[in-house]
Amino acid sequence: MTETPEVIAPSIRAAVEASLPDLPRLPRDGAAVAALRLYATLLDDTVDRVQDAAEEDQARDFGRMVTAITKIGPRFERMIDMLGMSPGSRPSAPQQGGPAGGDPASAALDQLRAGVAAVAARFDPAATVDPAVTAADAGD
């Protein structure tokens, strides 16, 4: 079996830009997209500076840049969640022409839930009780 190699974007910003054309969004999402682009650019710039600092052994700047990444990273992550771009947020993000929720796993889960609901609708709890036990309990 031949595996397809994963394509890795040259930067976070490039990955964001590659993902945006497929993102279902409303005009009011423009500010969120602009913030996402800004965070991606800041992360790319900071990662580049961290790599340069590591090469030049600039410990003071290295610490500041790592702190910047730890502040920007969670904001970037929240933004991609808000826009429905992360795996955890996809079930709530509708996709045009795709399965319910825009995620194949969500469609499979919906089918499973429907099957369980159908079985539960046919289930009669009274049928599982032994009539002799019911009669004995009535005599107590």
Average pLDDT (101-118) is 69
Q: Chain-wide mean pLDDT for the chain?
A: 75
pLDDT computed for residue 5 by the predictor: 46
For the full predicted model, state whether its pTM sits above 0.85. no
Q: Cα(25)–Cα(94) distance, rounded to whole angstroms?
A: 9
Helices 30-56 and 12-19, packing angle to 10 deg: 160
Q: Is the pLDDT of residue 69 over 70?
A: yes
Q: Could you give the 3-state DSSP secondary structure of residue 85?
A: coil
Per-residue model confidence (pLDDT) at position 40: 93
Range among 44-53, 69-78, 128-137 rated most confident = 69-78
pLDDT of 70 > 90? The answer is no
For the segment 118-124, the average pLDDT, to the nearest whole number, is 75
Cβ-based burial of 39 (10 A; exposed 0-12, middle 13-18, buried ≥19): buried
- Integer Cα distance of 38 and 30 in angstroms: 12
pLDDT at 102 over 60: no
Q: What's the pLDDT score for residue 123? A: 72
79 or 128, greater pLDDT: 79
The pLDDT value given to residue 119: 75
Give the per-residue pLDDT at 8.
Answer: 59
